[in-house]
């Protein structure tokens, strides 16, 4: 009775269908689109830059001190530290079973803030940062302009950064390949000797003069005023007139008498290339709740307007655009949906009727839009994983509607159009259909039990499938039978397929006499399938066949200069651009960013649908094209598999005395190189640059009454310079760096006093 009443409510069916479609379209406008689900990786990283330091100094003076503070914290699963030239990096994994993870993160931050006694060369104190998918950059903007100089392009980059930060949805803009301004003070050793001055005296005078403080008020009973001492530097030339020594004869020795002061930039330690050109880069991060496609479109519109109103000669390249993958997957869903609708209409129109085909095909948008509505209610996003679920469920929901429609249509043809025949046709298949849906739900629900990082990413996939199946069940129960019952009766009957149905019916009757043989045949087929799956079928969670990225690592001789490293890159980049050809979307090159002798390159390809060659085929072509390039000791190409962020497939940590670790790591590497299926075996214990060791003669130091701190100052000033003070210019701090000798020959001045 209930079904009979429900199936006669044509208006209710129409209202239900229209309501779900409108609600889904509204939800589609408001739902957030992102690359991946917003996942907290339950990891934190602590990075500390220590300029000019060797790996051993970084470990002793930075890493060990931070680790000492971390030891007292509970709730950490493990922490791994890497000390390399100029940088200390510590990765912390938080225990997954801890309930209050935020408390653990606060403890880690507090521990880092307690670290004391760090070297004075460290400008930025260490900070602990969370690793979240939402904190990754969504696009990289690369700028180059051959018509202007570095300083002017730097100013353009600064202005663009400020413009981008004002865009709605943008959280942060970071610049790469950006050299901070620096004032260089070149001290003449001959002048120091002439006026009997030491470096420390000059440093002290320059520091003492650069001050600003309040001395209270004037204690005037009628009008009080604050007394402020203003002696801060505002430009580089202010230092030149600082008096470092005054003699009895009235001669005042100023900085300009013993030194040359120049505006410049900090020493370049890494270089960035984009599409073969040296460039500035801005990495843009979006806000956690911002839509990735909308935000990237706003960024590109803003950059285009900025270029038009400032420098038309400015060349802009985009790379690492996270919205492209989301757009591509959305296009796949749309194309599959349209193709599915067309096929349903054509096939059902041929076998049943075009009216039936229309109502069945309508179930597809109703189901998908209904699933999107559920996603909005549960605060989920459209991302690469949820879109995969939608692609997967397209065929399932169409099958449900076809089964119901065919059963009802068959009963109407046999018994005539009445509510009784519609109910009879519906009831005949609804229980098997529900059983099928439940088995599908149970199968996908097992993915909810996946643990670890992968479980955090894939939970949305079964959720989307379940939402879609629920909507499909509601649609075929409430709306579809009512739509089919309300259709006007047609005298036209489709009889051309009847003879094929009779032939198939006779065939079934025949094989049913041999049912044991049939069952045994299918059991045998199942056994063979299981055997082939176990022995021949390879398992890859995210296959590289659909990948659009190739990663490249170039290793050169340890100790190679940055200039020589860039020359090697200038040989490789044209080869890559020529080999990849029209399949290339962008080429990003990081020179000496991770290690001083290593180059990392990201080769982004156009989408898989738009090219004929796979990423693996292109990779093999690149391997052949880049053989025997002079200066390269090792070049490794690897296809970056799609999927959520993750580390290496296999990661092995060795623990023990450092003297034994190098030998053990080398032996293990040789063993793994012989194993099939392993490639790109990388070690993080790469040696630093060769070093020149300075041995101090303690006896002479004591005889000459030399301060050990002075020796350190002179050595640093002779080669890398010493930071002495700073001034404020705009939003940035500009540091003064003092050198002993000029830029060309200060390396010889320690032993020979030849620093002019």
Whole-angstrom distance, CA of residue 212 vs CA of residue 438: 75
Cβ of 220: how many Cβ atoms within 10 Å? 8
Rounded CA-CA distance 745/732 in Å is 31
| pLDDT score, position 490 | 59
Higher-scoring residue by pLDDT: 693, 167? 167
Asked whether the predicted pLDDT for residue 67 surpasses 90, the reply is yes
- Reported as a pLDDT band with limits 50, 70 and 90, residue 110 is very high
Q: What is the pLDDT of residue 341?
A: 81
Classify residue 222 by its DSSP letter. S
d(CA 401, CA 473): 9
Residue 484 is encoded by which pair of tokens?
């089919």
Regarding predicted confidence, which is higher, 230 or 466? 466
C-alpha 565/C-alpha 586 separation (Å) is 21
Considering the chain, what percentage of its residues have pLDDT values greater than 70?
A: 94
Tokens representing 300 are 């590109």
- DSSP assignment letter at 9: -
* Backbone φ/ψ region at 527: left (φ over 0), alpha (ψ -120 to 50), beta: alpha
Q: Are 566 and 599 in contact (CB under 8 A)?
A: no
Note whether 550 and 615 are within 8 A (CB).
Answer: yes
Select the highest-mean-pLDDT range: 348-357, 520-529, 540-549. 520-529
For range 498-517, the mean pLDDT: 85
Specify the pLDDT at position 217: 80
- 49 and 121 Cβ atoms separated by less than 8 Å: no
Average pLDDT over residues 220-246: 86
In this structure, the strands spanning 732-740 and 722-729 are: antiparallel
Residue 491 has pLDDT above 60, yes or no: no
For residue 101, give Cα distances in angstroms to 40, 44, 644.
10, 11, 22
Q: What is d(CA 76, CA 66) in angstroms, rounded to the nearest whole number?
A: 15
Regarding beta strands 732-740 and 181-187, do their DSSP bridges make them parallel or antiparallel, or are they unpaired?
A: parallel
Question: What DSSP character marks residue 520?
Answer: H
Distance separating alpha carbons of residues 311 and 153, to the nearest angstrom: 10
Q: What are phi and psi of 647, to 5 degrees?
A: -90, -155
Q: What is the tens place of the pLDDT at every residue in 716-747?
A: 888 888 888 889 887 788 899 999 887 555 55
Residues 586, 333: Cα–Cα separation, whole Å? 26
3-state SS string over 284-304? Answer: EEECCCCCHHHHHHHHHHHHH
Alpha helix ranges (H) inside 460-561: 460-474, 480-486, 498-512, 515-535
- In whole angstroms, what is the distance from residue 565 CA to residue 599 CA? 8
Tens of pLDDT, residue by residue over 557-587, are 888 888 999 999 999 999 999 999 999 988 9
Give the highest mean pLDDT range of 25-34, 143-152, 355-364, 414-423: 25-34
Give yes or no for a contact between 697 and 93, defined as CB atoms under 8 angstroms apart.
no
Please tell me whether the overall predicted TM-score, pTM, comes out greater than 0.85 for this model: no
694 vs 708: CA distance, rounded Å: 13
């Amino acid at each position: 009775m209930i079904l009979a009443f429900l199936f006669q409510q044509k208006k209710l069916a129409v209202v239900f269908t229209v309501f779900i479609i409108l609600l889904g379209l509204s939800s589609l406008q408001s739902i957030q689109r992102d690359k991946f689900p917003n996942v907290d990786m339950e990891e934190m990283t602590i990075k500390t830059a220590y300029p000019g330091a060797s790996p051993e100094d970084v470990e002793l003076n930075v890493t060990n001190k931070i680790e000492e503070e971390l030891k007292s914290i509970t709730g950490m699963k493990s922490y791994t530290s890497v000390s390399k030239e100029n940088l200390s990096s510590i990765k912390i994994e938080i225990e997954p079973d801890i309930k209050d993870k935020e408390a653990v993160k606060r403890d880690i931050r507090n521990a880092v803030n307690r670290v004391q006694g760090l070297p004075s060369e460290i400008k930025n104190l260490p900070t602990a940062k969370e690793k979240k998918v939402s904190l990754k950059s969504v696009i990289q903007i690369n700028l180059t302009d051959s018509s202007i100089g570095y300083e002017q392009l730097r100013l353009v980059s600064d202005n663009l950064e400020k413009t981008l930060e004002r865009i709605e949805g943008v959280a942060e803009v970071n610049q790469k390949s950006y050299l901070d301004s620096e004032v260089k003070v070149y001290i003449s050793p001959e002048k120091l000797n002439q006026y009997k001055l030491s470096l420390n005296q000059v440093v002290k005078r320059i520091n003492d003069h650069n001050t600003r403080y309040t001395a209270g008020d004037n204690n005037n009973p009628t009008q009080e005023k604050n007394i402020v001492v203003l002696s801060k530097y505002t430009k580089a030339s202010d230092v030149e007139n600082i008096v470092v020594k005054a003699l009895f004869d009235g001669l005042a020795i100023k900085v300009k008498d013993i030194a040359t002061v120049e505006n410049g930039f900090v020493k370049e330690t890494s270089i960035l290339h984009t599409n073969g050109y040296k460039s500035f880069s801005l990495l843009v991060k979006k806000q956690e709740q911002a839509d990735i496609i909308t935000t990237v479109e706003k960024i590109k519109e803003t950059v285009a307007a900025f270029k038009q109103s400032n420098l038309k000669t400015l060349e802009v390249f985009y790379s690492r655009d996270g919205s492209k993958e989301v757009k591509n997957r959305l296009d796949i869903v749309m194309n599959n949906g349209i193709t599915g609708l067309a096929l349903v209409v054509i096939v059902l129109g041929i076998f049943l009727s075009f009216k039936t085909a229309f109502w069945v095909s309508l179930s597809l948008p109703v189901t998908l839009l209904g699933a999107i509505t559920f996603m909005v209610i549960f605060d989920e996003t459209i991302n690469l994983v949820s879109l995969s679920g939608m692609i997967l469920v397209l065929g399932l929901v169409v099958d449900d509607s076809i089964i119901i429609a065919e059963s009802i249509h068959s009963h109407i043809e046999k018994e005539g159009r009445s509510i009784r025949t519609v109910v009879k046709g519906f009831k005949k298949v609804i229980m098997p259909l529900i059983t099928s849906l439940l088995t599908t739900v149970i199968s996908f629900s097992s993915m909810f039990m996946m643990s670890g990082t992968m479980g955090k990413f894939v939970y949305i996939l079964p959720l989307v499938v379940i939402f879609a199946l629920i909507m499909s069940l509601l649609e075929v129960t409430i709306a579809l039978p009512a739509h089919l019952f309300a259709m006007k009766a047609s005298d036209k009957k489709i009889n051309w397929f009847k003879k094929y149905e009779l032939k198939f019916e006779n065939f079934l009757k025949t094989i049913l006499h041999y049912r044991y043989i049939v069952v045994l045949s299918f059991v045998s087929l199942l056994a063979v399938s299981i055997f082939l799956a176990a022995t021949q079928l390879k398992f890859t969670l995210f296959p590289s066949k659909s990948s659009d990225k190739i990663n490249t690592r170039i290793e050169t001789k340890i100790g190679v200069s940055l200039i020589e490293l860039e020359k090697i890159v200038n040989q490789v980049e044209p080869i890559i651009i020529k080999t990849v050809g029209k399949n290339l979307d962008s080429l990003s090159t990081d020179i000496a960013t991770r290690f001083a002798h290593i180059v990392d390159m990201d080769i982004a390809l156009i989408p898989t649908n738009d090219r004929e060659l796979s990423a693996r085929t292109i990779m093999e072509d690149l391997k052949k094209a880049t053989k025997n390039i002079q200066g390269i000791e090792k070049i490794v190409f690897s296809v970056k598999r799609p999927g959520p962020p993750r580390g290496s497939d296999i990661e092995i940590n060795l623990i023990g005395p450092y003297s034994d670790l190098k030998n053990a790591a080398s032996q293990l590497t040789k063993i793994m190189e012989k194993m099939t299926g392993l490639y790109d075996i990388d070690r993080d214990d790469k040696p630093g640059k060769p070093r020149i060791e300075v041995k101090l003669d303690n006896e002479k130091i004591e005889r000459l009454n030399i301060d050990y701190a002075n020796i350190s100052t002179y050595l640093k000033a002779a080669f890398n310079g010493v930071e002495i003070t700073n001034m404020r210019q705009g939003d940035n701090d500009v540091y003064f760096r003092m050198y002993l000798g000029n830029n060309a020959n200060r390396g010889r001045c320690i032993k020979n006093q030849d620093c002019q």
